[in-house]
Amino acid sequence: MAILCQGTIYVLAVGEIIGPYEFHEEFNDVDGWALGHVRRVRWLWKGTKEFDVYTLKFGDTTQILSEDSIVRVWLKNLDISIQSQVAPLRQIPETKNIAVKYDDISSYLFGKGVASDRINNLMSQIGELVRIAKWYNDSDKNKPSKVEIINYLVVPLPRTLGWTPQLMAIEWNNIDIALFSELPRKYGFLNLVVEVKKLNAPALSAFKQAKGYALKSKKCRRVIVTDGLRYGVFTKNRKKGIFSCRIYEFDTPPQ
């Protein structure tokens, strides 16, 4: 039996663990949580059951209830419907991560009228970034600092896309990388906020902090969180004022 908790007080759902261990890459960064290691659960009861403070424990995401827990007593007397016990498991949704293919980038840019030499330059730069990241990943001794990731993996991309040093500030007012629409560098001209995490770390956890910076500027409609290869791109809806996210990841460079 599995229970879904909130804090140390509430139980929100009760379920039955079904099947063996699975790994799903699409769940490896869920709002900053690494949840790729999973077991399937058939949820038998959903609601809100309140207990006394600290009835449930702080700590690891997955824990075992103690034998004398009052939650176990409650579970034994829980009325579970027959329908919920035979309900089929929901299909796991397809990942929203988009593996950025080199040919797709080239074709898209060429179709928009970008000159071939500029496209080749961009593709070459992306390939170099992927190779550097692979070198970091291939050895435990080569783990990069955040400063290295910013300078070696992130900054070269906007530079190749045409952002000048004058319009791109590093570690500006606590923002890892701030891009401006015009000079001088101030919040009124802030166009894009980039927050950087360590390589292979859950990057989406940086969004809340980055959003706070972006909201200081009416012109800032995009927030990017990245580990140097995976990019969570948050775009602000002008009417609703909310940010929606898409995740992109560069694939292996062509040989």
Model confidence at 253: pLDDT above 70: no
Structure tokens at 51: 């207990």
First to last CA, the chain: 49
Q: How many CB atoms lie within 10 A of CB 17?
A: 11
**CA distances in angstroms from 183 to 165, 166, 168, 224, listed in the order given:** 11, 8, 10, 21
Choice between 21 and 254, residue whose per-residue pLDDT is larger:
21
Token pair 């992130």 is found at 154
Check residue 66 and give its pLDDT: 85
Taking the C-alpha atoms of residue 153 and residue 230, their distance in angstroms, rounded to an integer, is 11
pLDDT digits (tens, 9 = 90+) for 167-209: 999 999 999 999 999 999 999 999 999 999 988 787 887 898 9
**CA distances in angstroms from 68 to 12, 60, 62, 250, listed in the order given:** 20, 20, 18, 50
- What sections of 57-185 are H helices per DSSP? 70-76, 82-86, 102-111, 116-138, 146-148, 156-160
pLDDT digits (tens, 9 = 90+) for 198-244: 887 878 878 989 999 999 999 999 999 999 888 989 999 888 788 88
Q: Rounded to 5 degrees, what are φ and ψ at 111?
A: -65, -25
Task: Of 156, 222, 165, give the one whose Cα is nearest residue 194.
Answer: 222
Check residue 143 and give its pLDDT: 86
pLDDT digits (tens, 9 = 90+) for 147-157: 999 999 999 99
Taking the C-alpha atoms of residue 25 and residue 33, their distance in angstroms, rounded to an integer, is 12
Taking the C-alpha atoms of residue 139 and residue 226, their distance in angstroms, rounded to an integer, is 21
pTM of the model: 0.68
